[in-house]
Amino acid sequence: MILDGKALSTTIKQEIRTDVNEMIGKGERPPHLAAVLVGNNPASEAYVGNKVRSCEEVGFSSTLIRRPESISEQELLDIVRDLNEDDEVDGFIVQLPLPPHINEEKVTLAIDPRKDVDGFHPLNFGRMAQGLPAYLPATPQGVLLLLERNGIETSGQHVVIVGRSNIVGTPLGILLSRKDKVGNATVTMTHSRTRDLAAETRRADILVAAIGIPRFITGDMVKDGVVVIDVGINRIDDATRKSGSRLVGDVDYDEVAPKSKAITPVPGGVGPMTVTALMLNTLKARRREIHHGQ
């Protein structure tokens, strides 16, 4: 089975659109997401472009604030403060990475946790870890939705995660091991210092690859019947394409797909789900569902 993130994200976006139409019908204003983009990193441009387009699809308002690479840290912090105070903005993101002269941690900490729809603020991360209502980081949330809506049972399953980043591997490990609807898995977290990685990945009922190395997970590293979630997005040269390149995941799809029970394609798997999860967080922000009464 192919875990089609593109199709599922279209379905979920339609569900959001219905909710937004209902809001507007009641005379309420639609959710409003703002995005701050510093510089012109092509990948960041593409991600932010996708987010703005998705807002249009679901009926949200969106504001894109673009600033040159030369912006000072203080100027960026001032923008964050203004967005924190703007009652018409429900949630906002500051697209990472930021230029080296700006401290990303300082900027993340300056975001009001009630508007932190990326879920990167330590308060949201901590609440997530304790199972309290929180904005879940978009990519792990997208993975949970893919599993849930495709009827893939996680309870009691052995999940092996490769990659321990703060935005993917680590939060996903926490979410899948907690006592919840999609959870109750036994999680093994692996990374660059793991001894005999293939021995670990071969034990996975569900394997998550979030490494950032093209086609790193090969056929001999998985068992038959595995469910594979490929988070990786890597651009590689391809002379047969007009653009000269194409996107591949962290999993060698051609080798691994025949052994798997279910697998996400790249592109069209986790990627679209990430943007959709951000839309869900923005809807929650509009409804003040998280941090209610704070």
Could you tell me the smallest distance in angstroms from the CB atom of residue 286 to ligand NAD? Answer: 23
Is residue 283 within 8 Å of 19, Cβ to Cβ? yes
Task: Indicate the residue among 31 and 163 with the shorter CB distance to ligand NAD.
Answer: 163
Positive or negative: CA dihedral 140, 143, 147, 149:
positive
* Phi, psi values for residue 203, rounded to 5°: -90, 0
Interaction of residue 105 with ligand NAD, rule CB under 6 A: no
- The site for ligand NAD, by CB under 6 A, has a size of 24
Interaction of residue 229 with ligand NAD, rule CB under 6 A: no
Among 119, 140, 171, 271, binds ligand NAD (CB under 6 A): 271
Instruction: Count CA atoms closer than 13 A to 262's CA, side-chain side.
Output: 18
Among 9, 54, 62, 139, binds ligand NAD (CB under 6 A): 139
Structural tokens at position 105: 């941690």
Task: Indicate the residue among 77 and 96 with the shorter CB distance to ligand NAD.
Answer: 96
Interaction of residue 5 with ligand NAD, rule CB under 6 A: no
Among 8, 176, 210, 290, binds ligand NAD (CB under 6 A): 210
Is residue 16 within 8 Å of 283, Cβ to Cβ? yes
- Percentages helix, strand, coil for the chain (3-state, rounded to 5) are 40, 20, 40
Interaction of residue 260 with ligand NAD, rule CB under 6 A: no
Among 189, 270, 280, 290, binds ligand NAD (CB under 6 A): 270
Could you tell me the smallest distance in angstroms from the CB atom of residue 118 to ligand NAD? Answer: 11
Among 41, 61, 150, 165, binds ligand NAD (CB under 6 A): 165
Query: What is the rounded distance in angstroms from the CA atom of residue 34 to the CA atom of residue 182?
Result: 30
Query: Which residues lie below 8 Å from residue 30, measured CB to CB, with a gap of 6+?
Result: 20, 23, 24, 59, 60, 61, 286
Query: Which residues lie below 8 Å from residue 112, measured CB to CB, with a gap of 6+?
Result: 84
Give which of 190, 184, 227 is closest to 205, Cα–Cα.
Answer: 227
Among 91, 113, 171, 232, binds ligand NAD (CB under 6 A): 232
Task: Indicate the residue among 71 and 221 with the shorter CB distance to ligand NAD.
Answer: 221
Interaction of residue 91 with ligand NAD, rule CB under 6 A: no
Q: Looking at the DSSP assignment, which residues form a beta bridge with residue 63?
A: 34
List, in sequence order, the alpha helices (H) in 157-288. 169-177, 197-201, 253-256, 270-286
Among 61, 157, 184, 234, binds ligand NAD (CB under 6 A): 234
Q: Which stretch binds ligand NAD (CB under 6 A): 101-109, 149-157, 198-206, 230-238?
A: 230-238
Task: Indicate the residue among 113 and 163 with the shorter CB distance to ligand NAD.
Answer: 163
Q: Which stretch binds ligand NAD (CB under 6 A): 59-67, 184-192, 200-208, 240-248?
A: 184-192
Q: What is the DSSP string of 70-107?
A: T--HHHHHHHHHHHHH-TT--EEEEPSPPPTTS-HHHH
Residues that bind ligand NAD (CB under 6 A): 139, 162-165, 167-169, 190-192, 194, 197, 210-213, 231-234, 270-271, 274
